């Protein structure tokens, strides 16, 4: 089982862990940067819909590897607008529940495709 390593910084900022120690002999899953793009190629215009799609894709990848959000050890979130943070955090919180992976949220000038508002990269580990 993976273990949270708390030094006290994360709890001052949000619902994530300072670090995660991964158990020996764990299976690892690394996702690519995953945008909020529908499987038919359509792109919703708003952050909430894109974030929900991106998280749905991450959850599907985890499930396909027989994992869950409890197995996430690190998540990197990239947004193109700081004004979307509050709406994004609501979606992220709903999908993560009480899981607290190590986390990094970046505001970037743009993502690979025009119109992408969010991209999520995740790392999971499970014994």
Q: How do residues 70-120 score in pLDDT, each as one tens digit?
A: 999 999 999 999 999 999 999 999 999 999 999 999 999 999 999 999 999
CA angle 77, 11, 86 (to 5 degrees): 45
> pLDDT of 40-67, one tens digit each?
999 999 999 999 999 999 999 999 999 9
pLDDT at 16 over 90: no
By C-alpha distance, which of 127, 114, 125 is closest to 71? 125
Residues 52 and 56: their CA atoms lie apart, in Å, by 6
Residues 33 and 70: their CA atoms lie apart, in Å, by 19
Residues 26 and 51: their CA atoms lie apart, in Å, by 28
Across the range 7-13, mean pLDDT stands at 80
**pTM above 0.85?**
yes
Residues 46 and 50: their CA atoms lie apart, in Å, by 6
Distances (CA, A) of 65 to 27, 31, 34, 88: 9, 11, 16, 25
Q: What is the pLDDT of residue 21?
A: 87
Domains, the chain, with CATH or none: 3-126 (3.30.1330.40)
């Amino acid at each position: 089982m993976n273990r949270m390593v708390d030094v006290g910084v994360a709890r001052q900022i949000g619902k994530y862990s300072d670090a995660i120690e991964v158990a020996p002999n764990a299976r690892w899953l690394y996702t690519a940067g995953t945008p909020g793009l529908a499987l038919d190629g359509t792109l919703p215009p708003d952050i909430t819909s894109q974030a929900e799609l991106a998280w749905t894709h991450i959850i599907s990848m985890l499930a396909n590897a027989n994992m869950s959000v409890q197995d996430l050890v690190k998540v990197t979130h990239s947004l193109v607008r700081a004004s979307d943070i509050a709406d994004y955090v609501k979606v992220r919180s709903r999908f993560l529940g009480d899981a607290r992976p190590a986390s990094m949220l970046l505001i970037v000038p743009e993502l690979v495709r025009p119109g992408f508002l969010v991209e999520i990269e995740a790392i999971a580990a499970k014994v």
